[in-house]
């Protein structure tokens, strides 16, 4: 595959590759999962609760049945839990809500690069100043709650020391005007 990037994207700081792998939840038939932990994970990586599930990024819960639609999945998946065991995994049609076939495993992909964590939001708020009126460009008051663009403030509370090249260690780079790019990287990588 080929990626063309502006130098600003290449200079963006990221988490290490293992961090992003942990955002994906692999579920297989007969796995033992803790329902509340799974639901907390889905919320943290950008899923929203919606009944019935109709599109990517939604999930619903009815007793021991969890419906979830992962981005890039062919169809949503219905997990039937007996206790903490995944007894069955079935794809279903979101229009009819009827099963279309069984699957042995599914991958629940994240909808965000950074999971939503209350401790991080609280730290961002503390660093911006508890007593001051801090507003983001959308006019939303920052009060420990998520707001548009909160993830851009992550470097304020936790160091991000990796780049996109760490995510693609075998990448081959073609640089146009390398001296100018080097100056720009020095400026951006503060």
Report the alpha-carbon angle 15-19-24, nearest 5: 135
**Rounded Cα–Cα distance for residues 90 and 62 (Å):** 15
The closest alpha carbon to 10, from 148, 182, 154, 152, belongs to 182
**Tokens at residue 175, please?**
């640089």
Q: Any bridge partners for residue 68, and if so which? A: 59, 77
What's the CA angle centered on 16, arms 8 and 21, to 5 degrees?
115
Pick from 92-96, 108-112, 122-126, 184-188: least confident? 184-188
pLDDT digits (tens, 9 = 90+) for 76-102: 999 999 999 999 999 999 999 999 999
* Structure tokens given for 147: 């707001």
pLDDT tens digits, 116-127 = 888 888 888 888
Name the pLDDT band for 143 (thresholds 50, 70, 90): low
CB 85 within 8 A of CB 30: yes
> Residue written as tokens 């803790």?
34
């Amino acid at each position: 595959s080929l990626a063309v990037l502006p130098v600003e994207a290449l200079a963006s700081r990221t988490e290490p590759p293992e961090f992003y792998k942990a955002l994906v939840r692999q579920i297989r038939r007969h796995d033992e999962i803790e329902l509340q932990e799974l639901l907390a994970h889905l919320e943290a990586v950008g899923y929203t609760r919606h009944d019935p599930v109709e599109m990517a990024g939604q999930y619903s819960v009815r007793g021991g049945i969890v419906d979830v639609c992962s981005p890039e999945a062919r169809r949503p998946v219905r997990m039937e839990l007996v206790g903490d065991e995944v007894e069955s995994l079935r794809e279903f049609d979101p229009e009819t809500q009827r099963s279309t076939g069984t699957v042995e495993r599914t991958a629940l992909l994240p909808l965000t690069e950074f999971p939503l964590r209350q401790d991080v939001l609280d730290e961002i708020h503390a660093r911006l100043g508890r007593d001051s009126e801090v507003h983001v460009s959308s006019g939303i008051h920052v009060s420990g709650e998520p707001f548009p663009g909160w993830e851009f403030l992550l470097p304020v509370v936790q160091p991000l020391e990796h780049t996109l090249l760490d995510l693609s260690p075998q990448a081959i780079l073609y640089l146009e005007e390398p001296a100018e790019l080097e100056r720009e990287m020095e400026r951006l990588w503060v």
